[in-house]
Structure 1
Amino acid sequence: MSYPSLAPFVMKRPWLQKIFKPLSNWYANTAGYRQLGLRADDLIIEENEETILALQRLPPQASYDRVYRLRRAIQCSLRHKLLPKEEWTKPEEDVPYLTPLIEKIRAQEKEKADLDAMTIVKNH
């Protein structure tokens, strides 16, 4: 399921970027996932079909890194401690790696549905 986003609108306007960029960084830091060494895409729920397919398409190193980050975050959560500040995920490291694959899978599914719904009309 896709949610509407204002991101493209904001990204096209530099004056809005100046307002929302610090606000978005503050929100991401307040969410707490960066203090556990996670990235935003690590928080995507794995129980839908598109995410499962995207995880299968990840390169081996990216998949290994994801599992490592998740296990380390679970360990921190069980100990009720955060990572040392130097191990926190930095904003420049928090780039989407799973979202592009999910979007590609959605586009492929839409194309397949469009092709399956296509009707061929013969002209005599």
Structure 2
Amino acid sequence: MSTPSLAPFIRQRPWLRNFVQPLANWYANASGYRQLGLRADDLIPEENPDVQVALARLSERDRYDRIFRIRRAVQCSLSHKLLPKAEWTKPEEDTPYLGPLIKIIEAENKERADLDTLVPRKNH
């Protein structure tokens, strides 16, 4: 799930962030998920075990909202229509809610794997 990212490099340089931000907003709007009322983390596939654990750790409200957004998007897709512009996801609403949990779970799994492969040394 983890892939190298240019985001930290871009965030450290304000001039580069100011240059890339309009392109990122254009790309997110062009991808169409905001027009269906989805957030970026709604697009993460649920088949990964780490994602399953992260979904279980979400609050009841966040889980309900995610399912509602996905069902509404499926309904729009089946009817070949977009939501009214007032119901589109705004860029300020499109905040990560699942990605940070997935990173925490991946770190926990890595730590667990490191501790499981730990070999005790004899000191005599």
Q: Give the TM-score normalised by structure 2.
A: 0.97
**2:27 counterpart residue number:** 27
Structure 1 runs (4+) deviating above 3 angstroms are none
**1:77 counterpart residue number:** 77
Are 1:38 and 2:38 counterparts? yes
Query: For residues 46-85 of structure 1, what are the structure 2 equivalents within 5 Å?
Result: 46-85=46-85
Query: Which ranges of structure 2 fall in alignment gaps of 5 or more residues?
Result: none
> What amino acid is aligned across from residue 46 of structure 1 in structure 2?
E
How far off its partner does 1:3 sit?
A: 1.4
Identity %: 65
Distance in 1, Cα, partners of 2:63 & 2:114:
31
Q: How many residues align?
A: 124
Are 1:121 and 2:121 counterparts? yes
Query: Which ranges of structure 1 fall in alignment gaps of 5 or more residues?
Result: none
> What amino acid is aligned across from residue 47 of structure 1 in structure 2?
E
Distance in 2, Cα, partners of 1:48 & 1:65:
20
Q: Give the TM-score normalised by structure 1.
A: 0.97
How far off its partner does 1:7 sit?
A: 0.4
How far off its partner does 1:4 sit?
A: 1.1
Distance in 2, Cα, partners of 1:98 & 1:64:
14
How far off its partner does 1:122 sit?
A: 2.7
Distance in 2, Cα, partners of 1:13 & 1:51:
31
**1:86 counterpart residue number:** 86
Distance in 1, Cα, partners of 2:96 & 2:110:
22
Distance in 2, Cα, partners of 1:74 & 1:85:
17
